[in-house]
Structure 1
Amino acid sequence: MDSLVVVAIDFGTTYSGWAFSFRHEYERDPIKVSSKNWQGGTLVSQKGPTCILIKPDGKTTDSFGYDAESKYAEKAEENEQDQWFFYKRFKMMLFKDKGMERNATLEDESGKKLPAMTVFSLCIDYLKKDVLDTLGRQVDIGLSVSDIHWVLTVPAIWNDAAKQFMREAAQKAEIPAKNLTICLEPEAASIYCRHLPVSKSSTVGEKTSLAQFSSGTKYLVLDAGGGTIDITVHEVTDSGELKELYKASGEAL
């Protein structure tokens, strides 16, 4: 992979966020990643609410996350909410519909409808631009979308149709297909944990220390999210790669 930086977008049911890692930093320290601190009043978190406020034209994002919640509340106080589109907790429509049709529509909080592809792609586009703004402040030479490898996480229990819908939504948000990887959420967590010092080991004459998973280690991955919960079992192979012993199984909450 020749990309200078990898950006991961976690499009969650309840909360969303992004993180990135430069190639040279990953080579020195695989668990060194940077992410955004989202602010909502006095609350600071590494993810923001998965909600979007879309302007009356039905095509333009006004705000996302905590800002979208605040602005929609202001519109409601001024009795202007019917002119705007406010969506939250809509991601699981992909699971319920067993892979949403491309021409499907979503109802917002007041019952108004927009194409599902529009809502999903606008959310991805916002997160894309948000991380690009942050990267632009850290790198003297501007980074373009094509300089980045993008990773979009999805629940393990989604079928191929739902994954394809997300891929097309990302492409509609102008993320090139060749720069995009769709990654299962528990697999991403499992790969990250492979680099953490999580097991205790000791050698005669040496102090007890923490070490990474060794070959042959089997472990369970439990992904309890805001919309789905699933369980799978992985094993570390002799080459240090991961093998799935049991396919992820789970259900929507």
Structure 2
Amino acid sequence: MAKSDGELVVAAIDFGTTYSGWAFSFKHDFERDPCKVSAKTWTGHQLTTLKGPTCVLIKPDGKTLDTFGYDAETQYSQLSQSGEHKKWYYFQKFKMMLWNKPIHKDMMLDDESGKSLPAITVFSLSIRFMIDDLTSMSNQQVSGLNLEDIYWVLTVPAIWNDSAKQFMRLAAQEAGIPCEKLSIALEPEAASIYC
């Protein structure tokens, strides 16, 4: 795993099969208290949790993220009630589509209604949502932060092969994370280091 040197923040994205979340820690906070971590609080369906549903709603152009998580579920439900959902792309629990399959950068994913988009687009838009959401919250604590100030850790399942890990690395890069500012960590390793 690469070491972060000049960054002010270390951020982690847990892109889960069913639920996803993110957290970050400022280096100066970590030096004083390694357990001081800021994380997103997701709200939806009368719940407040540290993770939100791994579902994404993409606009009819197939290139623009509309919403992610509980907001995507709610928006897609509203679109369905009015019959407009057929134009939109709604993906949920799509991460494990990368497991146990030949993976290539041109692979396609089918959404809930059978429409296809490039998998790299679906994953990179989802990661981009996490990046934007996290940087918005971190800028509330310290203004003026940009991507160069953040070192990113993206977790993946231990059972994933190298091509699936490489795919996630490409999706993260397409989402805007520079390769030198990114580590891919196996989920159990990340958990054991924190615990």
TM-score by length of 2: 0.96
1:9 is displaced (CA, Å) by: 0.4
Unaligned runs of 5+ in 1: 194-253
| 2:99 aligned residue | 95
Q: What code does the residue aligned with 2:135 have? A: L
- Counterpart secondary structure, 2:122: helix
| 2:157 aligned residue | 155
| 1:107 aligned residue | 110
Q: What code does the residue aligned with 1:76 have? A: S
- Counterpart secondary structure, 2:114: coil
1:30 is displaced (CA, Å) by: 1.3
Distance 1:157 1:112 in 2: 28
Distance 1:22 1:133 in 2: 14
Distance 1:41 1:138 in 2: 28
Distance 2:98 2:72 in 1: 22
Unaligned runs of 5+ in 2: none
Distance 1:116 1:143 in 2: 30
| 2:185 aligned residue | 183
Q: Does 1:118 align with 2:135?
A: no
Q: What code does the residue aligned with 1:127 have? A: M
Report the count of equivalent residues.
191
Which structure is higher in helix share?
A: 2
Q: What code does the residue aligned with 1:102 have? A: K
Q: Does 1:132 align with 2:135?
A: yes
State the 4+ residue runs in structure 1 displaced beyond 6 angstroms: none
| 1:48 aligned residue | 52
Q: For residues 21-67 of structure 1, give each alpha carbon's deviation from its aligned partner in whole angstroms, at most 9, with x where no partner exists.
A: 01011111112111011000321000000000000000000000000
Q: What code does the residue aligned with 1:90 have? A: F
Q: Does 1:81 align with 2:91?
A: no
Q: Does 1:10 align with 2:14?
A: yes
Sequence identity (%): 60
Larger radius of gyration: 1
Distance 1:25 1:174 in 2: 25
Higher RCO (C-alpha under 8 Å, 6+ residues apart): 2
Instruction: Tell me how large the CA RMSD over aligned residues is.
Output: 0.8
Distance 1:105 1:160 in 2: 19
1:105 is displaced (CA, Å) by: 0.3
